[in-house]
Structures are given as C-alpha cells and as structure tokens.
Amino acid sequence: MAKMRAVQVSRAGGDLELVERDIPDPGAGQVRIKVAACGVCHSDSLVKEGAMPGIAYPRVPGHEAVGTIDALGSGVRGWKAGDRVGVGWHGGNCGYCDACRHGNAFACQTETKVTGLTTDGGYAEYMIAPAEAMARVPDGLSPVEAGPLMCAGVTTFNALRHSGARPGDLVAVIGLGGLGHLAVQFAAKMGFRAVGIARGKDKEALSRELGASGYIDSKPAIRRRNFRNLAAPRPSSRRSPRVVP
C-alpha cells in the first residue's frame, strides 16, 4: 500500500511525531484530499494535550487544511478530482437531524465531527473529509494563503457579518494576534470603523497598517478606565460590536 508522511500525536500530552502511514481511502460520501498546506491553530493544543474528551489516538491534528481532491468515494455529488478545496473545524454533519434541517449544521445533534480532532486532519500529505465539510478554494488564493482563513479567517469574518454592525459603525477588535489581525482587516473592508485594542504603543502602526482608523493601548486605558468613551464622539454610531479573539 502506498505510504504518506504525516505528523501525529500518539497519546494525550504526547509529542508531535513525524510518521509514515498508509494513504487512506475515502468511504461513501467522502473524498481524499492531497493536502498542500495546513495552518497551525491554537485549538490544535486540544488534541495534543487531550483537553477534550473522546479523542482517539493516534490522531493527526490540523483543521486549516487546503489541497486538491485526489479521489472520491461513492455517492459524492458536485465535486470532482482536481477541485481545490479547504477543510476547517467543521468536520461534517448528518444533514437529517432537526438542527441540520434548520440550517444549523454546526449544532448537528447526530454527530460532532471536528477535523483533526474526531478525525485525522491536515498535518499530512493526504486526508479524508466528508463532502459536506469542504469549501471551494478560489483561484486567487494560494494554499498557504487559504489555510489560515479556514479557521482564523472564518471565525472573525463570520462573527463580524453576524454581529449586527452596519456600515460606518464602530467595531473594536480586542487583541491583534492571529485572529485579531484578520478581524481588523475584515472589519475595515466590510465598511466598519475598526479600532484595534492591544497592549503597548508599538502595535498602533500595525493596527493602522491593517486598516484600523483608531487604536487603543489597553494598559493605560484600563488604568484610566476610559473605555467608556470609546463610542462617545459619534452618537450616530448606534452599535459598537466587539470582536474578541
């Protein structure tokens, strides 16, 4: 059987080990993806440290995987070999329970499938994914560019578009790390007045580079308790939703 390289965790609290594994075959409703890139997310630590119940080891982490479809299992419709795809935290859903039928696939009552947690993920040359867990990757994005958008990106983008904020509203983003640096960009591009909040004066330049129109150094601000004034200069800004990475 053909082999592939993969990085796995053998037990809770174990190391990330580079191993050789059989290339897996897709079952019904699944595809095999030839992975090109996979982002490393903080929640991969849940797998490494066994911080969530029910993880079977050895397990290959990785839920920011991007690649091309390499083989299709039976019954997969709408996808073909060679399609560029990505897989994020959402690792599939049943499609027939009440939550799924209400359009809330994330709350599937039948199974909680999480990529790289309940199934093997993208720290490998190949991985298996259910067809419903795939996102189509547009031509304009390389695998390395698309990877982090599969979790960090969608987490910030999706929260912002469901926040109730309207164009011109003030959106403060707390923290300018992996998620925050994306949230500021998305907020600015969605037409919000983005304000970055982080520790230290040195992050101000970064915040503006990312598109924020304002910046707050949280250290002295907390001391002065002046967050209350955040939305004050513009009484017309009805909402000031915050994204909290």
Partner 1 sequence: MKAVLGGLAATGTMMLIGAVPSLEVDSLFLLLGSRSIKGWYSGTSIDSQDTLQFAVLSGVRSRNEVFPLERAKDAYERMMSGKARFRAVLTMS
Pick the binder of partner 1 from 168, 177, 200, 220 (CB under 8 A): 177
Structure tokens at 188: 């600015």
C-alpha closest to that of 90 among 70, 114, 112: 114
CA distance 159 to 164: 9
Determine the distance from the C-alpha atom of residue 159 to the mean position of all C-alpha atoms in its chain, rounded to a whole number. 12
Residue 104: CB minimum distance to partner 1, A: 9
Asked if 222 touches partner 1 (CB under 8 A), the answer is yes
Residue 101: CB minimum distance to partner 1, A: 14
Structure tokens at 210: 């990312």
Mode of pairing for the β-strands spanning 84-87 and 126-130: unpaired
With 0-12 / 13-18 / 19 or more C-beta atoms within 10 angstroms meaning exposed / middle / buried, residue 47 is buried
Residue 96: CB minimum distance to partner 1, A: 16
Asked if 15 touches partner 1 (CB under 8 A), the answer is yes
Pick the binder of partner 1 from 72, 148, 194, 203 (CB under 8 A): 148
Pick the binder of partner 1 from 23, 41, 55, 194 (CB under 8 A): 41
SS3 204: helix
Q: CB-based contacts of 87: which residues, under 8 Å, 6+ apart?
A: 33, 63, 65, 66, 115, 121, 122, 127, 129, 133, 134, 135, 150
Asked if 158 touches partner 1 (CB under 8 A), the answer is yes
Pick the binder of partner 1 from 12, 21, 29, 40 (CB under 8 A): 40
Asked if 116 touches partner 1 (CB under 8 A), the answer is no
Pick the binder of partner 1 from 24, 26, 32, 38 (CB under 8 A): 38
Residues 198-217 that bind partner 1 (CB under 8 A): none
Residue 123: CB minimum distance to partner 1, A: 6
Asked if 133 touches partner 1 (CB under 8 A), the answer is yes
Residue 217: CB minimum distance to partner 1, A: 12
